[in-house]
Each structure stands twice: as C-alpha cells, then as structure tokens.
C-alpha cells in the first residue's frame, strides 16, 4: 500500500520560551513535575512517512520533541499495541505555562483527550483521532489516514478527512504557539480512567534519548529516524528518516534577547526573575473584570509570600551550615536541594497562573442586557 506522508505547512514560532520539564510519575496522567529549564523553544515538527502497521491492534503514537541532557531529542513516532481493547492514545504536548513551557505527558484512555491542538498528522490533526476506531473489541483502521496492509489487516474502512489546519508548530499557547483550548468532551476525557505509557513506550523514549543522532543539535531538526514500525526498532527496514526538517530555534530568535541559550540555574527564590504579571482582564464587563483582577492580585500576593517564606527557610539552613562548619560536599548537597525547591516553586506558580487564565477564559460571559419592551 502506498505510504502515507505527513505534510505540514511552514509556520515558524516567533518566540523562544522558558521551559520546565521532568518525567511524569507512572501513576499520574496529567501532572507535570519540575526539571531543568532552558531559554529555547522546541523545534518545529519534521515531515516524515508513516511506517506500515505491523499488525492488528496496534495504535499509532506520533513522534514529538522531548528534552534532556541539555538538548532536545526526537522521540520517533511508532506503532504500539493498545494496553486494553477500547483504549486510544492521547499524545503528550508542550504548553506555555506563563513562566515555563510545560510538557504534558500522553496517556491511554477510552476517549481522546486534549493534546494542545498540535497537528501531529496521521489522524492526530489537533483534536480527536481520525486514524481508526474500536468496534466490538476490534480496532478498525481508516485507510485514508493510516498506512496498513489490507492483505494482512482486514479491519479497515475508508473515510476521507479534511486536514485544513496544517502547521508544524509543536507547542500550545504563548507567542507563536497553537491557540487552541480543550473542548468539553476533551476536558471530560481528562477525568476518565487512564493508563500511563506502557513499558515498550518508556523503553522507546529512553532509546531515543540515548541516541546522539536524534539530538536537535546533531540533526538540525531533521532526525535520521523519524518513525519506526515497532518501539525501539531504530535500525530495521521499518525505520523511516525525516523527509524534511523543522526549524530549530535559538535564543537569538527571542525578541530582545541577545544572550546565548543557557540553563536557568536559579538556586534560590531571590535569583528568580520577577514573576510575570498577566494583563488586566478585559471582558467588556466592568464588574467581572474587577472580580478577575482581584483574583489575580490575591494569587500574586500569595505567590510572593511563598517566595519569601522559601527564601527565609533556605537562609536559615545556610546559617545552620555555618554554625556546623559544614564541608563543601555537604554545602553542595544543600544547594542542590535549594535549587530543586526553587524550581518546584517556580513551576507551581506557573501552573497556577495558567490554570487561573484558563478558568477566566472559559468562564461564561454574561448575556447582553436587552432594553425593556414598551407596553402597548
């Protein structure tokens, strides 16, 4: 069968964002923990062909850019056996969090949730999944989207999909990101029973991270292995190279930034940049705007207080180290703890700001008042 090609139009990201990343615990499905942060945005998505489906019951998991070891690396798209009949894959995605660019881990569930509006191709065109569907315990593949061998897999149908919003942007929100919000159905899907990435996916990610050729600095946005027929199988005939690379951003692309990309090495709250203050609400309803602004001010005051409290705790530990005449090894250990605490606090505050903005954006607007009807 003819191999399907993922084709995106070129749309460069206009801003370089601060990014907070870490692995997500297996028991957590929408949480993001703190990791390193860098002053560089994720590269655009490359263009590649989808390998042929290896067998019945495999679901396509699209490729994406992950971050680790001071660089982005490409996690190739691959076919993965569904952990349960009826379960579909909701891809992970990057989202601007106000102060950090946060990665939301993907998960398995009975319905597709929100994946940032990112157009990963092959049925994942921003919302939902058009590559196939479950029917009475069997997965049926949409031949118009998925690359399947019909002589091997007979559970097929063909429904043409109009993919009009083609973009290679790999993140949601912020300047230059995809401007999409979850639907009610996608929000509901987030509360359903989920299954974390299976072992084959975890091993696939680790193999990608350990492959120097998949680093963005080495492949310049055009990974030599963009997709595989099976997880972790990077060298067989089922491995596919990117046909076209995506732009790899640098700190020089950030407006007003003349510095080279570098890690955010804030160790203490006092080392953090001033917290970003969101713009004043402007819904057209003065009373509603005043309420929202009061909520923002209350949150800002709370976050400032938490920064001060953490700084005081760390100052106290410094004094204790001085009294104990602690050695360099002990001091270094404490400073590492301080850095982790500081990054966790910054990540927490970014998520709080993002959640507040989302609540305010999704809140129903009051209906326009109508003039009273004149009595006859």
Mean pLDDT score, 283-299: 83
Q: Pick the residue with more confidence: 207 or 71? A: 207
**Are the beta carbons of 275 and 349 closer than 8 angstroms?**
yes
| pLDDT reported for residue 27 | 33
Mean pLDDT score, 234-249: 88
**Predicted TM-score of the model (pTM):** 0.62
| pLDDT reported for residue 363 | 62
Q: How many Cβ atoms sit within 10 Å of the Cβ of residue 20?
A: 25
DSSP 277: P
**Are the beta carbons of 36 and 67 closer than 8 angstroms?**
yes
DSSP 269: G
| pLDDT reported for residue 33 | 35
Ranges 200-204, 251-255, 311-315, 318-322, most confident:
200-204
**Are the beta carbons of 18 and 101 closer than 8 angstroms?**
yes
Mean pLDDT score, 9-22: 35
Mean pLDDT score, 339-363: 77
Q: What is the pLDDT of residues 73-94, one digit of tens each?
A: 999 999 999 999 999 999 999 8
**Nearest 5°: phi and psi at 10?**
-80, 125
| pLDDT reported for residue 247 | 86
Task: Give the range among 42-56, 85-99, 164-178, 261-275 with minimum mean pLDDT.
Answer: 261-275
How would residue 250 be classed by pLDDT, with cut points 50, 70 and 90?
A: low
Q: Is 301 helix (H, G, I), strand (E, B) or coil?
A: helix
Task: Give the range among 58-67, 171-180, 339-348, 364-373 with minimum mean pLDDT.
Answer: 364-373
How would residue 371 be classed by pLDDT, with cut points 50, 70 and 90?
A: low
Is the pLDDT confidence value at 304 over 90? no
**Are the beta carbons of 55 and 82 closer than 8 angstroms?**
no
Cα separation, 226 vs 250, in Å, equals: 22
Is the pLDDT confidence value at 229 over 90? yes
How would residue 102 be classed by pLDDT, with cut points 50, 70 and 90?
A: confident
Mean pLDDT score, 11-26: 36
Is the C-alpha dihedral spanning 105, 25, 196, 68 positive or negative? positive
Q: How many Cβ atoms sit within 10 Å of the Cβ of residue 66?
A: 20
Q: What is the pLDDT of residues 132-167, one digit of tens each?
A: 999 999 999 999 999 999 999 999 999 988 765 667
| pLDDT reported for residue 117 | 93
Q: What percent of the chain has pLDDT above 90?
A: 43
How would residue 41 be classed by pLDDT, with cut points 50, 70 and 90?
A: confident
How would residue 95 be classed by pLDDT, with cut points 50, 70 and 90?
A: confident
How would residue 279 be classed by pLDDT, with cut points 50, 70 and 90?
A: low
Cα separation, 78 vs 4, in Å, equals: 14
3-state DSSP helix/strand/coil % of the chain, to nearest 5: 30, 15, 55
Q: How many Cβ atoms sit within 10 Å of the Cβ of residue 295?
A: 14
């Amino acid at each position: 069968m003819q191999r399907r090609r993922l084709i995106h139009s070129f749309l460069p990201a206009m801003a370089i964002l601060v990014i907070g990343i870490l692995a997500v615990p297996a028991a957590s499905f929408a949480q993001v923990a703190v990791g390193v942060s860098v002053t560089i945005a994720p590269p655009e998505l490359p263009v590649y062909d989808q390998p042929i489906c290896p067998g019945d019951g495999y679901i396509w998991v699209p490729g994406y850019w992950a971050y680790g070891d001071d660089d982005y690396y490409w996690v190739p798209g691959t076919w993965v056996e569904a952990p349960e009949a009826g379960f579909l894959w909701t891809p992970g995605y990057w989202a601007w969090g106000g102060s950090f660019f946060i990665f939301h881990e993907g998960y398995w569930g009975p319905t597709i949730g929100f994946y940032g509006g990112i157009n990963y191709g092959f049925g994942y065109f921003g919302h939902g999944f058009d590559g196939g569907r479950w029917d009475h315990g069997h997965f049926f593949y949409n031949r118009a989207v998925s690359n399947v061998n019909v002589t091997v897999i007979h559970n097929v149908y063909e429904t043409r999909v109009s993919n009009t919003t083609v973009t290679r942007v790999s993140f949601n929100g912020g300047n230059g990101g995809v401007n999409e919000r979850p639907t009610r159905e996608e929000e509901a899907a987030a509360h359903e029973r989920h299954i974390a990435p299976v072992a084959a996916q975890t091993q696939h990610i680790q193999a990608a991270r350990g492959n120097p050729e998949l680093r963005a600095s080495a492949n310049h946005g055009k990974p030599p292995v963009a997709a595989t027929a099976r997880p972790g199988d990077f060298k067989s005939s089922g491995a596919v190279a990117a046909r076209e690379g995506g732009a790899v951003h640098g700190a020089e692309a950030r407006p007003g930034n003349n510095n080279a990309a570098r890690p955010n090495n804030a160790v203490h709250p006092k080392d953090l940049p001033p917290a970003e203050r969101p713009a004043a609400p402007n819904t057209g309803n003065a009373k509603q705007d005043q309420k929202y602004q009061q909520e923002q001010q209350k949150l800002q005051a709370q976050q400032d207080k938490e920064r001060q409290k953490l700084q005081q705790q760390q100052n106290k530990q410094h004094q204790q180290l001085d009294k104990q005449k602690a050695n360099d090894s002990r001091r270094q250990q404490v400073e590492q703890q301080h850095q982790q605490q500081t990054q966790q606090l910054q990540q927490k505050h970014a998520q709080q700001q993002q959640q507040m903005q989302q609540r305010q954006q999704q809140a129903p607007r009051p209906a326009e008042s109508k003039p009273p009807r004149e009595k006859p």
